[in-house]
Every structure is written in structure tokens, then in C-alpha cells.
Amino acid sequence: MIAALEDFCRAVLSAAGADAATTDAATRAMLHGSRLGIDSHGVRLLHHYVTVLTKGRVNPRPQMRFASAFGAVASLDANDGHGALASYRAMEHAVQLAACFGIGAVAIRNSSHFGPAGAYAMAAADAGYIGLAVCNSDSFVRLHDGARRFHGTNPIACAVPVPENRPWLLDMATSAIPYNRVQLYKSTGQKLPADVASAAGGEETDDPQRVEMLAPLGGAFGFKGAGLAGLVEILSAVLTGMKLSFDLAPMAGPDLSTPRGLGAFMLAIRPDAFIDLRTFQDGMRRYVETLRNSPARAGARVLAPGDREWVAADRREADGIPIDPETERAFRELALRFGVNLCLAG
């Protein structure tokens, strides 16, 4: 079922006019999200991506170029292309820089929504490097004690290779939850958890239909989440010369024809530039093993960052990727529109 879903995404994106590189990158990123249980940033984004590719917001055939370089630092002009393509290319280049200099940093300009941040951090970890990926987004998160939208969900992702194991993977929004999860809860008819979202005026709500803004990560200590969001804002927007969250056009429109001008930031670190590789690997192995074996509270289990996602990946590899009702309806519409076969069973 996963292979069929991947084929469907590729066929639809290609039929919508995306070039091969954009099709590959967008599908790879969406499948990363869906495989690891990050459904808010998985294949449910396909309909949105087709919309912005065909209406003009996202360039379906961009000519991306590295606009400047200085030692271990570079900037990528994404030419208003898909954020996944820009981010994979930037992280690949950051890894190349780190191979030479020990560290590589790439600032991305003129990009668009990039989906699951962990996908790009993982690209570095798969090559044996530490990867960090951040991106700001349109304003949807109130400040701590704030009563209007200010930051975006502004994700932070970091992946670190672990010998004979899957990477240590942190992938988090700096809001209490990402906005796309509100959309997912709307589709499935679920109530939101407490203290993650607000209605107009800043009062808390668990009804996804009433959500006007998200809360920053941290609950009563939300100033910490707001501060982390600010860090992402500086690296993604200020450092790249791109728009701040409160100046960005909303992801959902109504204008889906004007490029949004997003920035992002990718960092790769070569571990053996700082310490011999064996020592680094032994340290990571011992850290993760000790973490997982730490005493847990009654009825609980201590997990390393990424463990929940790896459990989801194994389960979905065996059972397939679940598709929520709204996404299934969108897929059937896309299948009919582009004459692409849709098979969600099995």
C-alpha cells in the first residue's frame, strides 16, 4: 500500500506540471511524514501542493542556484520552488561543505512550505552527519500571554546518527501542536488536547472549528516555546532576508497565486571534525542506551527522541498508511481530475 501511495503522489504531481526533481522531493518528504506517523505533514498535503503548483504560488520547474558562498557558508535561491526540493538540496550542499570544513550551513531564500522538518535533518544523519533544519511559517501562534497571532509554528528538527541503530531524531513545532494537526482533528472529528489552541481573544478551546491561534510550546511556561520560535525566526527569516512570520501570506490562502518568499536554514556537522569517530559513536550509543533504560514512572516508558516515530514506521510498513476521510476525498478528486489510478486498499 505504501508503494501504491507513493506512485499515486508522484503521478499526480507530475500530471500537475511539476518537474521530476520537484516530484521526487515533495513525494519523499510527504512519505517521510506519513511513514513516521506525522500525518499532519504527510500525504494529506498532496492536494495543497497541487493547488499551489497549478495556481502559481509555487514554481513547478524552478531553476535553483547557490547565490553566494563563503567558506562553510552558502545561500540557496529557491526560485519560488517547492520547499522540499530547496531543503533537500540545501542539506545536501551543507553536508558537502561539512565534509570539507567540518561544518556546513546553507540559508534558503525564496522558498515555500517544506513539510516535515525532520526529513531534511534525516538526510544529513543518513550520510553520517548531524543535521539541523529550521523554517519559519505564517503567523498562527500567539506569544506567551499574547492574544493575537505572532510567530508561525516554526519547527526545529535535529537528527544524529547512532551506530547499529536508527538516528536520534527530534522533530518539533515550537507551538504546542502544528496547525496541520488542527486540520487533521477537524477531519477526524476529534477534540484537541487541553491548552494547545485558542479562540479569538486568546481564550483556550478544544474545538478545532473555533481555533484562531495556537499556543506556544510549554503551557504555563510558554515563554520558552515563544523564545524557541524566535530563534527559528532569526535563522530562517532575519538571516536570509526573507519575510517574518507576521508578514507572510497565510498557507491556506486566499491568495494562492503569489509566491510567499519563505526562508529556511540547514546546518550539517561532521562529527569526526571535532572528535575521533569511534569516540563519537561510542558516546551516542551509550547516551541513547542509557536514556532508554532509565527508570520510568509507574505505567510509563522512557523513550528517546524519534522512538515513537520509529514504532509508527515499523507498524505502517506492515499495515500500511492510514488515510483520513478528508484526505481520501481529496485523493479521489485528484485521481479523477488527472486520470490517475487510485488504490488505497491492501
Predicted confidence band of residue 222 (pLDDT cuts 50, 70, 90): very high
Task: Please state the rounded mean pLDDT for residues 96-106.
Answer: 98
Task: Answer whether CATH 3.30.60.50 is correct for domain 176-215.
Answer: yes
CATH class of 63-175+220-271: alpha beta
Task: Please state the rounded mean pLDDT for residues 212-220.
Answer: 92
Angstrom CA distances, 49 to 32, 115, 217, 330, stand at 16, 10, 27, 12
Q: What is the pLDDT of residue 181?
A: 80
Domain boundaries, the chain: 1-55+306-346, 63-175+220-271, 176-215
Provide the whole-model pTM.
0.94
Domain 1-55+306-346 belongs to what topology? Hypothetical Oxidoreductase Yiak; Chain: A, domain 1 (1.10.1530)
Helices and strands in the chain, H and E counts:
10, 11
Domain 63-175+220-271 identical in fold to domain 176-215? no
98 Cβ neighbours under 8 A, 6+ residues apart: 72, 104, 129, 268, 269, 270, 273
- Summarised one tens digit per residue, pLDDT across range 314-343 is 999 999 999 988 899 999 999 999 999 887
Among positive and negative, which fits the CA dihedral 171, 173, 176, 178? negative
